[in-house]
Amino acid sequence: MKSYTGYSKGFDDEEEDPGLPPKMASAPAKYGAKKKATRKKPVQQQAASKMSKAPVFKAQVMKKMAYDSDGSNGSIEDDEDHDDVEDNEEGSFVAAKSTMQAKSADLFQAQRTKMAQKAAQPRPDTEGLIDSLVFRRAYQQAVENGDPQPWGWSKLMIIGQGAAGKTSTVRSLLGLDPVETWESTVGVDLKVTSADDWKQRDHAETDFNLMLHKAAAQIVKEGEHPRQAGAKSKGPAPERTSRRFSKTVLGFFGLRRSSAKSAKTGDAAPASEMEEEVDHDGAAQNAAAPPASLMEQEEVARAINLDWARKLTNSEDTPLRFAIWDYGGQDVFYALHHVFLTKYGVYVLVFDMRQILADQESVIEYLRFWLNSVKLHAPNAPIVMVGTYADEVTTDDEYQRIEGILRRDVGTKLLVQVIKDSEARRSFFPMNNASASPTRGEKLRQIIENCAADQDYVKQKVSLRWIRILTDLVEDSAQQYVSMAHVRSLGSSYGVTGEELSHMLRFFNEIGALVHLDANETLSKNVVTQPQWLLNKLSRVIADEMHIESLYYDPELQRLGLAEDFERMRKMGVASYELLDFLWDGDEVDFLIEFMNSAMLLSPWPFNDKREYLVTSLLRDDSDTLAAEQGDGAQAIDPSEFEGGAACALDFSEFYLPDGVFQRLVPICAEYSARDEDSSLPRLSRQSAQIAFGWNEFLLEADHGQDIIRITFKPDAEDVGENIKVIVSMFRALKDNVMQNLKWKLVLFSQKNPAQGADYEDLVGARARKASKVRDTQGRAAKVSEFGIFFQSEETLGSLVSDESGGESSTSTAPADLTQDAAAATSEGFDVFISHKQSSGGDQVAILYEKLQQHGLRVWFDERMPVITKPAMEEGVKHSSAFLLFLSRGVFSSGYVKFELQTALEAGKPIILVHESDTQRLGYSDFGEYIQTAPVFAQEARLFELVESIPFQRRYYLEKPFVDELSKRIRAATAAHTH
Ligand SMILES: Nc1nc2c(ncn2[C@@H]2O[C@H](COP(=O)(O)OP(=O)(O)O)[C@@H](O)[C@H]2O)c(=O)[nH]1
Ligand SMILES: [Mg+2]
């Protein structure tokens, strides 16, 4: 195992080293000024106003060329399907740059060789001079290239039951004095440390400087090996560009790149072949500014510290740093696990050894819970189990007993990621947090360091450009979040734009350096640079009685007349907007609501005139309180009403049923329920809910003993299959959003024998084979006919467990008569003209076409048109009441889309925007990408400022509301048109 201490120690000598670079506070005024100007902008600020600053930065790079000693050709590595355009555009610039680089590279190479020769001889007096020149070049080169450096950071997550000794263990790790009184941690407490000394420090470490020194030292070091250096001078070093690097990171995440190849499969239609001619997928890159310098040269000069740099060149070590997340024990926070228990971290699971000996059952249960949670959200992360109270539990005998329990009952033997103490032959590490010795944490520190040093993400190389951006973002700890517009402009100033920027943010989010969720637009508008801020805000809503007690007596609550609202939230989980606004001091209320909503911790409660939200984690165990609160006619849940009704279950017994599933399913159901005015009010409690979709009522029950969620319909319920499909699609949405690794299946119960369940897939198979019997979940025979009620609407609904209509291509071939209908409609005109890019939006638009036609709308859609020529398109646009632009990846690179849009704008047609919302597939995760790539005439028409785009929905339960909304907008446009 490598030692990770030497290098960092060197860095920490900084106090005595007067020549060391100043902290980032003294970064050149350029950055400071820019930051001040853009940081304070409100989140809602239209990103459209932030356009590329390309000309300015180009000038800066030109100025730097004289100092460029890079051996590479300076152009950005081509990435299969990108950049051709960019290279052409920048052609002359790149050529000029490489000539000069070649020159300075020769010079630099000569110096390096000289250095290497000198190393063997006694050093003459001029040595310092040459050294400083070499290092100056090296720094400059590192700055210009944005050389990738090992990331070196790891999250260290301290988890376990309340009062188990988590906070004390953190104190032991940091060498702080033990504390005697227990103060329960609320939410999560964040600390930062470095493995060289394990002293707590500021988050605003000079990451960039640290990595820059390392990069420069490496360059010099490589220069000392003539063979290696020779090979380098022949051509560009492949890993030296940020573009190439982003590819490494893509591979690291197992992400799919939108390559021309994959996007264009199935493009057989003649329309798309035509499109091909004008299609440049690289158009998005047009907007990218050329890579700019990460540091002014004067700053580079100041950054050089010879002694220190020489020391670094001889060091193999990688600095290792930790962000320590000390979790509160409150189970109300379990709902946030998917946000914070991310893949890339080391987990320390703390338990009280006295307790496991005294009260096995409960400790086993919570250890299992935590191990499962880690397995669910971070399946490959190492887990270190720590047993506290080693001052009281001291004998080997006791440790043996604990080991037995852990192996036998908790199953740590089977969990490969549990770190074993091979010396002591144990799967846990005893810890005495009461000891005053500063070395009490030494062994644990060593184990954690070793675990972390082994992790791929720690060794993962990250572009200096990324580090520079991160440093700029987090250095100001007073700034707790920034707008995406700011991040985008900061990114482009360092040459990180578009997809690379999105991937960078995803990486930083996964790694826990900041919080950025890109599931939807409102969310991606902010980047939270201080995760603690988010946690503190959430703690004001999701908290147990103990932590919220002081709020009951807050005079401000009374003064604002919110005491009742507060009571209502605490009793029945329904919070008013005004109350949230108060709890969050008016900070980013909409963003925080959206954050909780996307984490499915809260959902609109649309049963009142007031703006209210349901926070399920605050629900009580019984539904009486809720019923009483709701007043008129509201009742408690009555299970007897459901006896004899059709029943099925989401079955998780193969793994386990995490808390959050039921908690999240309920608000989605409740919200859906409100869409139908025939629905009666939901009746809710912590573990069960009675919900109506129109006249169909069902009971949802979480059974954590059996690890199932049971769904029982009233005996008179009609569309059982339809409703199961809706509920399953809701569940799939939450699983895909927050619990990807959750294993599950749908089990249907026999109507005759409600205790007998059979796997839905098995039943489907048996029915296909026309078998009369099927094996039930216990392996016994069951009659297929007894499950008939679930298959009544089979023909219309298709499978109960799939909800992505977008994946099925049944709609892509147009029946002949539809084409004729369309032709006939030409004379009378159309309600809407659909414009789209075939390769990334074709399938979605084919679905839209069908759905809108079903709504009785007359739609112009090229795939269904008898004639597709430019004049025909122009006619189509002019004879349509509204113009629908479907936004998918690379949409503005299509010449037809631009032509159609321009025609529509000139004809003054009302524009409707729909965007692909699946960011992993064909949409952009950052809506700003559409804005940036839009043609100038669209920007001048303020297209994105005046029209709110609707996300395209595939999910079964979202599709209908989506199409309803869309046709409403089209009809509104049509009505306006006819006036
Ligand atoms: N004697 C002794 N007390 C401990 C030990 N670890 C924790 N404690 C005490 O247990 C209580 C709870 O510890 P704390 O770290 O706050 O628990 P947390 O809720 O898991 O963070 C505190 O009063 C600590 O002083 C230990 O190893 N030995
Ligand atoms: Mg604590």
- DSSP H or E stretch at residue 149: strand 148-150
Q: Please name the residue whose Cα sits nearest to atom 10 of ligand 1.
A: 165
Per DSSP, the chain holds a count of helices (H) and strands (E) of 44, 28
| Ligand in closest contact with the CA of 186 | 2
Please identify every stretch of the chain with a pLDDT value under 50, giving residue numbers as ranges.
1-105, 123-124, 204, 224-291, 805-820, 822-825
* Distance (Å) from CA 183 to ligand 1 centroid: 9
Cβ neighbours, 10 Å, residue 13? 12
Neighbours of ion ligand 2 (CB under 5 A): 166-167, 185
Nearest atom of ligand 1 to the alpha carbon of 181: 23
How far apart (Å, rounded) are the C-alpha atoms in residues 72 and 104? 11
* Six token digits for residue 804: 């992505």
Tens digits of residue pLDDT in 335-376: 777 777 888 899 999 999 999 999 888 899 889 889 999 999
* Distance (Å) from CA 185 to ligand 2 centroid: 4
Confidence (pLDDT) at 916: 87
Tens digits of residue pLDDT in 375-394: 998 888 999 999 999 999 99
Architecture label for domain 807-978: 3-Layer(aba) Sandwich (3.40)
Confidence (pLDDT) at 978: 57
Confidence (pLDDT) at 920: 62
What residue ranges line ligand 1, CB within 6 angstroms? 162-168, 179-182, 184-185, 329, 388-391, 431-434
Nearest atom of ligand 1 to the alpha carbon of 171: 15
* Distance (Å) from CA 366 to ligand 1 centroid: 17
How far apart (Å, rounded) are the C-alpha atoms in residues 638 and 244? 61
Q: Please name the residue whose Cα sits nearest to atom 18 of ligand 1.
A: 163
Confidence (pLDDT) at 442: 95
How far apart (Å, rounded) are the C-alpha atoms in residues 724 and 742? 19
| Phi/psi at 849 (5° precision) | -55, -50
* Distance (Å) from CA 362 to ligand 1 centroid: 18
Residue tagged 């193999």 (tokens): 316
Q: Please name the residue whose Cα sits nearest to atom 1 of ligand 1.
A: 434
Residue 964, strand partner residues: none
Tens digits of residue pLDDT in 863-893: 776 667 788 888 888 989 999 999 988 889 8
Same fold? 153-196+319-458, 807-978: yes
| Ligand in closest contact with the CA of 169 | 1
* Distance (Å) from CA 169 to ligand 2 centroid: 9
Choice from 433, 444, 547 to test ligand 1 binding pocket (greatest atom count within 8 A of CB)? 433
Tens digits of residue pLDDT in 52-72: 322 333 233 333 332 333 333
Q: Which fold has domain 153-196+319-458?
A: Rossmann fold (3.40.50)
Confidence (pLDDT) at 254: 37
Confidence (pLDDT) at 414: 67
How far apart (Å, rounded) are the C-alpha atoms in residues 281 and 40? 34
Q: Please name the residue whose Cα sits nearest to atom 7 of ligand 1.
A: 165
Furthest-apart CA atoms within the chain: distance in Å: 98
Confidence (pLDDT) at 41: 35
* Distance (Å) from CA 166 to ligand 2 centroid: 5
Confidence (pLDDT) at 112: 53
Q: Which fold has domain 619-803?
A: TATA-Binding Protein (3.30.310)
Nearest atom of ligand 1 to the alpha carbon of 388: 27
Domain limits, the chain: 6-151+207-257+287-313, 153-196+319-458, 540-598, 619-803, 807-978
How far apart (Å, rounded) are the C-alpha atoms in residues 707 and 376? 15
Q: Please name the residue whose Cα sits nearest to atom 25 of ligand 1.
A: 180
* Distance (Å) from CA 183 to ligand 2 centroid: 7
* Six token digits for residue 528: 């939270």
Confidence (pLDDT) at 631: 52
* Distance (Å) from CA 159 to ligand 2 centroid: 9
Q: Please name the residue whose Cα sits nearest to atom 13 of ligand 1.
A: 165
Cβ–Cβ under 8 Å, residues 171 and 177: yes
How far apart (Å, rounded) are the C-alpha atoms in residues 804 and 853? 20
* Distance (Å) from CA 403 to ligand 1 centroid: 21
| Burial class of 242 by CB neighbour count within 10 A (0 to 12, 13 to 18, 19+) | buried
Going by C-alpha positions, the residue among 634, 633, 615 that lies closest to residue 624 is 634
Nearest atom of ligand 1 to the alpha carbon of 160: 20
Q: What is the mean pLDDT of the chain?
A: 75
DSSP three-state, residue 385? strand
Going by C-alpha positions, the residue among 729, 674, 705 that lies closest to residue 953 is 729
